[in-house]
Amino acid sequence: QVQLVQSGAEVKKPGASVKVSCKASGYTLTSLYMHWVRQAPGQGLEWMGIINPSDGSTNYAPKFRGRVTMTRDTSTSTVYMELNSLTFEDTAVFYCARDSEGCVDVWGNGTTVTVSS
Amino acid sequence: DVVLTQSPLSLPVTLGQPASISCKSSRSLVHSDGRIYLNWFQQRPGQSPRRLIYKVSNRDSGVPDRFSGSGSGTDFTLKISRVEAEDVGVYYCMQGTQWLPRTFGQGTKLEIK
**How does pLDDT run across B64-78, given as a tens digit for each residue?**
999 999 999 999 999
Q: Is A103–B48 a contact, with Cβ atoms under 8 angstroms apart?
A: no
Q: Which helix (H) or strand (E) holds A70?
A: strand A68-73
pLDDT recorded at residue A75: 97
Given a contact cutoff of 8 angstroms between Cβ atoms, the answer to whether A37 and A70 are in contact is no
Contact A102/B97, CB-based, under 8 Å?
yes
Is the pLDDT at A99 greater than 90, yes or no? yes
Per-residue 3-state assignment (H helix, E strand, C coil) for chain B: CCCEEEECCEEEECCCCCEEEEEEECCCCECCCCCECEEEEEECCCCCCEEEEECCCEECCCCCCCEEEEEECCEEEEEECCCCHHHCEEEEEEECCCCCCCEECCCEEEEEC
B84 pLDDT tier (thresholds 50, 70, 90) = very high
Cα(A58)–Cα(A6) distance, integer angstroms: 19
The answer on pLDDT for B97 being more than 90 is yes
| pLDDT of A112 higher than 90 | yes
A12, β-bridge pairs = A115
SS3 A29: helix
Note the pLDDT tens digit of each residue in B11-67. Answer: 999 999 999 999 999 999 999 999 999 999 999 999 999 999 999 999 999 999 999
What are A47-82's pLDDT values in tens digits? 999 999 999 999 999 999 999 999 999 999 999 999
Q: What is the pLDDT of residue A42?
A: 95
pLDDT by residue (tens digit) across A15-44? Answer: 999 999 999 999 999 999 999 999 999 999
Contact A34, A96 (CB under 8 A): yes
Using CA coordinates, name the residue in chain B closest to A59: B100
A-B CB pairs within 8 A amount to 56
The strands making up B75-80's β-sheet, listed across from edge to edge, are B4-7, B19-25, B75-80, B67-72
Residue B54: what are its φ and ψ, rounded to 5°? Answer: -125, 155
Rounded to the nearest angstrom, the minimum Cα separation between A72 and chain B is 20
Contacts of B39 in chain A (CB under 8 A): 103-104
**DSSP three-state, residue A50:** strand
User: Average pLDDT for residues B78-95, to the nearest whole number?
Assistant: 98
Which chain A residue shows the shortest CA-CA distance from B53? A105
- β-pairing, B58-59 with B50-54? antiparallel
Q: How confident is the model at residue A102 (pLDDT cuts 50, 70, 90)?
A: confident
CA B48 and chain centroid, separation: 15
3-state DSSP assignment of residue A90: helix
pLDDT of residue B64: 97
C-alpha to C-alpha distance for A13 and A74, rounded to whole angstroms: 30
